[in-house]
Chain A
C-alpha cells in the first residue's frame, strides 16, 4: 500500500534553514505529482508547494515563494522541501501528499490528494 514518511523536522532559529524529506513507497513515485501541505498549531490546512512527476513544474504558495524550494529524486523515491529564511509563522506540521487525478477523454477532470504522510513538526523559535 502507499506509504509516505516525512522526516527532517525539528527546532530551528528564525532565519535559519531546514530540509524536509518524504520517503515514498507502494506506488510508482516517478509517475505522480507531489505536494507539501502544512498545518500550524491550532490552524487549518495550508497548501505549500507542488512538483510535477518530472520536476519540470513547481508552484508555491505566496507565503513561501522565494524562501522554500520543492524538489524530488525519483531514483530514491523521495520528495524534499528546502526551507530557508524560516519565520515564526512557518512553524507547523508539514505533510507530504500524493496527487491523484482523474481524466475524461484525455483531459484532467479532478485533482486531489489521495494519500498523505503522518507529518513532521517544524518549530521556529529563538
Chain B
C-alpha cells in the first residue's frame, strides 16, 4: 500500500516535547520528508530523508525512522511551532508524490 497515515491532532505544553508519527508500508524501504504548514503561508520543509534538517530549521526539530513508522519530534516546543505537519514520501518511480493527511500540533 502507498498510503501514509498520521494522527489528526496532538497537543503539547510550551517547552515540552511532542512526537508526530507517520505510518505506511512504503516507509519500510523509503524515506520520509516533513513539511510544516501554517494557515495562509507556504509549506516549509523541516526534515528530509528521514532525519536531515535543512539549514535554517531549528535543531529542536528532529526525525527518525523505525520500520514502517517515521517520526518528527519537536523538543522544547515553541508557540511558533503550532501548525499542521505533513509527512511525504516517494512513490515507486521515486517521485515524492505521497502525502500523509497531516497532524495539527497545538502548543498550549
Bound-state Cα–Cα, A33 to B85, Å: 24
State whether A108 and B42 are in contact (beta carbons under 8 Å apart), knowing that A44-B101, A46-B99, A102-B49 are contacts in the complex.
no
Q: Are the CB atoms of A112 and B97 closer together than 8 Å?
A: no
Bound-state Cα–Cα, A47 to B96, Å: 8
Q: Are the CB atoms of B90 and A111 closer together than 8 Å?
A: yes
Q: Are the CB atoms of A44 and B100 closer together than 8 Å?
A: yes
Interface size class on chain A is 20 to 34
Q: Are the CB atoms of A114 and B45 closer together than 8 Å?
A: yes
Q: A residues within 8 A CB of B96?
A: 47, 99, 111-113
State whether A114 and B54 are in contact (beta carbons under 8 Å apart), knowing that A50-B95, A59-B95, A95-B43 are contacts in the complex.
yes
A105 at the interface (CB under 8 A from B): no
Whole-angstrom distance between the Cβ of B23 and the nearest chain A Cβ: 15
Q: Are the CB atoms of A45 and B45 closer together than 8 Å?
A: no
Whole-angstrom distance between the Cβ of A56 and the nearest chain B Cβ: 14
Nearest to A113 among chain B residues (CB) is B45
Q: A residues within 8 A CB of B42?
A: 95, 116-119
User: Which of A99, A109, A118 sits near B49, CB closer than 8 Å?
Assistant: A109
Give B9-50 interface residues, CB cut-off 8 Å to A.
Answer: 31, 33, 35, 37, 41-45, 48-49
Nearest to B84 among chain A residues (CB) is A44
Scoring A39, A59, A110, A119 by chain B CB atoms within 10 A of each residue's CB, the highest score goes to A110
Q: Are the CB atoms of B102 and A44 closer together than 8 Å?
A: yes
Would you give 17 A-B contacts (Cβ < 8 Å), ordered by A? A39-B37, A44-B84, A44-B99, A44-B101, A45-B99, A50-B95, A50-B97, A59-B93, A59-B95, A97-B43, A99-B96, A108-B94, A112-B48, A112-B49, A112-B96, A113-B88, A117-B42
Which residues on B are within 8 Å of A, measured CB to CB? Answer: 31, 33, 35, 37, 41-45, 48-49, 52, 54, 84, 86, 88, 90, 93-102
Which residues on A are within 8 Å of B, measured CB to CB? Answer: 37, 39, 44-47, 50, 59, 61, 95, 97, 99, 102, 108-114, 116-119
